Structure formats: C-alpha cells, structure tokens
Amino acid sequence: MKTYLAVDIGASSGRHILGWLEDGKLKLKEIYRFKNGAEDQNGHLCWDIDRLESEVTDGIAACETVPESVAVDTWAVDYVLLGKNGERICPAVAYRDSRTETVPDELEKTVPFAWLYGRTGIQMQKFNTVYQLAAQKKEMPDVFEKAEKLLMIPDYLAYRLSGVAVNEYTNASTTAMVSAEHKTWDKEIIARVGLPEKIFGELHKPGEALGGLTERVKEKVGFDLTVRLAASHDTASAFLAVPTKDENAVFLSSGTWSLIGVELKAPVTNDESRAQNFTNEGGYEYRYRYLKNIMGLWMLQNMRQELGDENSFDKLTELAQSAADYKGRIDVNAECFLAPKNMCAAVKNELMKQGFKEPTVPEMLSCVYHSLAESYAETIKALEKLTGKVYTSLNIVGGGSRDEYLNKLTAKACKLPVYAGPTEGTAIGNLIVQMIADGELASVQQARDVVRDSFEIKIYEP
C-alpha cells in the first residue's frame, strides 16, 4: 500500500498526516503534532523557522513505514531571503508584525492599489508580501544586496528537506506580485517596488517532484523519500479537499482565518470586486480562489487564552449560547482585531464605542459568534452579485467545521444548508496533490468524490 505524508503547518500548530487509499476511501493517520506561534525576535514578531524546520524533520522520522513522498503546506504571504551560499539571511517575520503599518499608504504614489489589484487580483491586506518586502527594504536595504532568492515559508522548508530552492505558484500568488493573467512574476511591480528581479525564480506547479532528501536529512530520519511541491498555500490545499458535488457551492476553509469564496476559471479584477476586497488567489490547475479573508477563529483562540486555557472551545460556545439574544455586533474584519494586545478588550471597546454598556464575557462571545456567522452571510450575498450566480450550499472544511454552534448560526444567517467536514481540509488537499502526481488519483473531481465518501460530513439546515 502506498502512503503519502502531508506536513501541514498553520499559525497555531503543525501536523504530519499520513494518507493512503484503502477500498476506494482516503484514510488518514496523524503521526506527529507540534505547536506554532509568532514570537518577539529583536523587536519584530517572527516565526521560529529553525524550530519549525527541525519539527518537520522529526515528524518525518516518526513514520513507521516509508511514504512515497512528502509535501509541505503553510500559511501564505511570509517569506525568507537566501544569500549566495543558500543560507538564510533574514528572520521569518510574521504577517501580524506591525512593520507594514504605514507601507500601503507610502507606496500608493508609485504602486497604487487600484493598479496593483488590476494586475494581480490580490486583495488589500497590509501584510501582503509586496508590502512586507517594501518594509524590509526600508529597514534593512543591505539585505537586498546580498539576497539571491526569495522563498515563501513552505518553499523554504521544502528546500531544507531537498536542497532544491524553487518558488511554488499558489503561495507566490499571495505576494501580490504575480500577474493574475499570465501566472508569472509581474516584472513591472517588482521594478516599481525597487526589488532585484533575480530573487524571484520561475514559478513551479504543485505536484512537481523536487528530488530526494539531502544527505543531512536522510541521516537524521533514517530513510529517503521524494519531496514534492504541495499546493503549498494552505488555503489552496484546503479548497481542493472541499467535497462539493456541483458548481453552486460556496467553500469555507475555517481555521485561524475564515476563507470564504468559490473556485473560478478566470480572475475577476473589476472595480466592484476591488471595492469589496475580494481576492483571486492562484490555485491548483489555475483554479482561482475567489474569496474573502474573514478574521475567523483567531478571535476566539485569543479570547480563550485570555479567559484561561481551562475553558475548552465547548465551554466558550456554552457561554456564548447563554447570551444568545445579545444584540451587539462588530465588524470582524476591523483592523483592531488583527493583532490586539488583548482581544476581549478590543471587542469590548468596539461594542462600547457603539453605545452598548460594558458587555459580560458571554455577551462578548455571543457577539463574536453572531458577527462571524453574519459576515459569512454578507460575503455570500456579495459573491452572488459579483459572479452573477446563485449559491445553494456552504461547504465548511478545516478545524472550525467542528464548531456546531457556529455551524448552526451560519446556516441560519446564510439561509443555506451547511455541509461541515472534513476537519483536516488542508492536509487532505496536500495529500490529494501528491496522489494525483503519483497517479493514485486521476483528477480533482475524483479526489473530491473520494473525500465525500471517506469522511463524515454533517448537514445543518437553515
């Protein structure tokens, strides 16, 4: 039996998941799990990239049998730079760091957002790679004199495994420096930001084999296997795992972020789409992920920590339900929730600004739950307007699809049936790409059919 290994790293945790086909069903086994999170390094919020690298190797070593291949997916937009000997020459700054705070405004004269959106189709997020690179150039211009290559985080981890440094297309698209039309780096954008063109390598497609493990890694794990490119942006992987039957379903990848949208054959970069801040991220087989980023479980993850980790997520929903009639709502996408010192205080502050009296903990939680569900509903309405289609269901994958209360509120707010599951969306998408590349699965449609038959999918009627 052929097995495949997905290394799937999110903002709060990473996991190694083995996958294989058995009697036409996809089977999964989690073999390794580790914590992730950004931390302060010399005044910047950074990922501990060296620890992530050793976790990736340790997890591979935990395999009891040798998989056919391994592929890495992670969150988007963050990167590192390599010097002429292939060494890392800058920290892996995390997207919630404040270094880009003023950059979009400063760049507006030379790289106006409307122009950028027209070329890349990528939404305005202050943390897009294009703005991070501009911030880095301002702070440490010398680094670009030494830089030979830019690698996104999963590309870097795949490079440390295989010794082969390439840029993968789906994650590269989130830099806001890839042409939506041509699917290659946009040289005009690179020039306007004043970056060296040579650091942007040719874009490679998900599924491609990079080769075996380096001698160093082979020695550590005790065997060799093929390293492949996943659809290395986790959201690109997650969308592949959505078990839709038809074209009328909206996809929601629910984790730290809620990524809600549809798959399109061509990008939509008109003024209305830009005004609504929909993005066109590059997908597997050039399926564009036309979606919106919604702040997502990040808000609840933070509130949980602040209220004490002894509160399970179930406890949070219980508390929220005890104030189900609370009327306060917030704009979950407001800037103040991106990296607040204290999430509860930020929520409280937003509510009190609107004239609500100081909310209780259950009221705050109820507000966040309802506001999330309602923002999904608004996004679906906007999607219908922008694509001229009517959507008939919402399919949720990822850890957040376990949240029964949120699923119920979502079905009610969207007035649509909600299909929840599988929970391991990103890892499954990662495995699907490896299985297609190896000939175990024939197509994305077949993979989605297999996913539908293999995992429990709960239905919530409006």
Backbone φ and ψ for 78, nearest 5 degrees, come out as -90, 155
Binds ligand LRH (CB under 6 A): choice among 156, 169, 185, 257: 257
CB of 257 to ligand LRH, least distance (A): 4
The least CB distance from residue 14 to ligand LRH, in Å, is: 12
What are residue 39's DSSP bridge partners?
A: 46
Which residues, including other chains, have CB under 8 Å from residue 400's CB and lie 6 or more apart?
A: 254, 255, 258, 296, 297, 406
Least distance to ligand LRH, CB of residue 261, Å: 10
Query: What is the total count of residues that contact ligand LRH (CB under 6 A)?
Result: 13
Least CB distance to ligand LRH at residue 95 (A): 5
Q: Which of 4, 6, 10, 221 binds ligand LRH (CB under 6 A)?
A: 10
Report in angstroms how near the CB of residue 279 gets to ligand LRH at its nearest. 8
Query: CA distances (Å), 438 to each of 114, 207, 215, in order?
Result: 41, 8, 24
φ, ψ at 222 (rounded to 5°): 90, 5
Binding mask 223-252 for ligand LRH (x = CB under 6 A): ----------xxx-----------------
Among residue numbers 91 through 130, which ones bind ligand LRH (CB under 6 A)? 95
User: Which residue from 92, 189, 227, 259 is in contact with ligand LRH, where contact means CB under 6 A?
Assistant: 259
CB-based contact 47:38 (threshold 8 Å): yes
Which of residues 76 and 221 has its CB atom nearest to ligand LRH in the complex?
76
CB 257 within 8 A of CB 298: yes
**Contact stretch for ligand LRH (CB under 6 A) within 205-213, 255-263, 367-375, 427-435:** 255-263
- Contacts of residue 2, defined as CB under 8 A and 6 or more positions apart, other chains included, come to 20, 21, 67, 68, 438, 440
289 vs 408, which CB is nearer to ligand LRH?
Answer: 289
Distance linking the first and last C-alpha atoms of the chain:
42
Stretch that binds ligand LRH, among 36-44, 75-83, 85-93, 244-252 (CB under 6 A): 75-83
Nearer to ligand LRH (CB atom), residue 19 or residue 255: 255
Q: For residue 293, state whether it binds ligand LRH (rule: CB under 6 A).
A: yes
* Geometric angle at alpha carbon 77, from 45 and 188, rounded to 5°: 125
- By CB neighbour count within 10 A (0-12 exposed, 13-18 middle, 19+ buried), where does 354 fall? exposed
* Rounded CA separation 58/218 (Å): 11
In 216-295 the beta strands, taken as DSSP E runs, fall at 226-233, 249-254, 258-264, 279-281, 288-294
Active site residue 325: no
Q: Does 299 bind ligand LRH (CB under 6 A)?
A: no
Name the residue nearer to ligand LRH (CB basis): 171 or 366.
171
In whole angstroms, give the CA distance from residue 223 to residue 452: 33
Nearest to 2 by CA among 449, 435, 437: 435
Determine which residue in the list 20, 32, 75, 284 makes contact with ligand LRH, applying CB under 6 A.
75
Least spacing, CB of residue 309 vs ligand LRH, in Å? 22
Q: Of the listed 8, 97, 234, 403, which one is catalytic?
A: 234
- Check residue 454 for interaction with ligand LRH (CB under 6 A): no
Using the contact rule CB under 6 A, the part of the chain among 254-262, 337-345, 350-358, 369-377 near ligand LRH is 254-262
Shortest spacing between CB 234 and ligand LRH, in angstroms: 5
State the pairing for strand pair 418-420/393-397: parallel
Considering beta carbons, is residue 122 or 190 the nearer one to ligand LRH? 122
Determine phi and psi for 325, rounding to 5 degrees: -90, 0
Residues that bind ligand LRH (CB under 6 A): 10, 75-77, 95, 233-235, 255-257, 259, 293
By annotation, the residues acting in catalysis are 234
